[in-house]
Amino acid sequence: MSQNKFPSIIVFDVNETLLDITTLEPLFERVFGDQAIMREWFAQLVLYSQTMTLSGLYVSFGELGVGALKMVATIHQTDIADSDVAELKERLSNMPAHPDVIPALTRLRDAGFRLVTLTNSPSSASPTPLEKAGLSQFFEHTFSIETVSKFKPAPETYNMVAKALSVDTSDLCLVACHLWDIIGAQAAGCRGAFLTRPHNTIISAPGVPLPDLVASELTALADQIILHKER
């Protein structure tokens, strides 16, 4: 791909980028008395998923999520019941789309972009979380890292998508609201479009690459992507 040509294949992260994880907060409010513990749990889940990959090990994201919930409960000296675990799984499978998602995906689809997803979550039987959220019709393929048994931002995850689509990683642009995901994609040769949803922002440090595009709303980010394609 020419350095001046913007990719025509947009790869979307799913959890928090497309689907609203704040719908998990009532569980954490009930169990811990503080909905903000959800962010602690999610950070631990991401940390240990990456630790497993760096250590050459693999356990599904769902199992790690349950383990992280129990770990956070132990840290906060709180008991976790089987019903709490069941509620976590139920809420994870029924997260709604953010309000800006369908308008943004519609714009990109109408502009001729190919849209796929790449998630740390394992694939699931229909109806999938994307189907329940009313998003599945926008995507020609939904990729899970379980295929390579490595979590993002391992380069194998982005390479898997490129290989499956018979393109180079330079033909892909990752859209995500987690900068660590963007950094990993860029290091693998992709472009990166960073969505600064609440609790996510740029880290400014020497040697840390900046995203190619940045916006706080997915519709605005979609407009930037379209503009770059038209140049």
- Calculate mean pLDDT across residues 156-170: 98
Pairing mode, strands 141-144 and 172-176: unpaired
The tens digit of pLDDT for each residue in 6-54 reads 999 999 999 999 999 999 999 999 999 999 999 999 999 999 999 999 9
pLDDT in tens, 173-191: 999 999 999 999 999 999 9
Domain regions of the chain by residue span: 9-20+95-230, 21-92
- The β-bridge relationship of strands 9-12 and 141-144 is unpaired
Q: Are 97 and 133 in contact (CB under 8 A)?
A: yes
Q: Which CATH superfamily is domain 9-20+95-230 in?
A: HAD superfamily/HAD-like (3.40.50.1000)
Letter for the amino acid at 213? Answer: L
- Determine the CATH number of domain 21-92: 1.10.150.240
E strands in 74-190: 114-119, 141-144, 172-176
- Between the alpha carbon of residue 150 and those of residues 4, 15, 120, 156, 181, the distances in Å are 31, 17, 9, 7, 13
Per-residue pLDDT, 49 = 98
- Given a cut of 70, whether residue 2 has pLDDT beyond it is no
Please report, for residues 36, 116, 140, 201, 231, the alpha-carbon distance to residue 156 in angstroms, rounded to integers and kept in the order given: 33, 17, 21, 25, 31
- Strand ranges across the sheet with 114-119: 141-144, 114-119, 9-12, 172-176, 191-195, 213-215
DSSP code for 1: -
- Please say if the pLDDT value at position 81 is more than 50: yes
Q: How confident is the model at residue 155 (pLDDT cuts 50, 70, 90)?
A: very high
pLDDT-derived band at 4, boundaries 50, 70, 90: low
Is pTM beyond 0.85 here? yes
In the structure encoding, which two tokens stand for residue 174, read together?
A: 């990752």
For residue 139, the SS3 value is coil
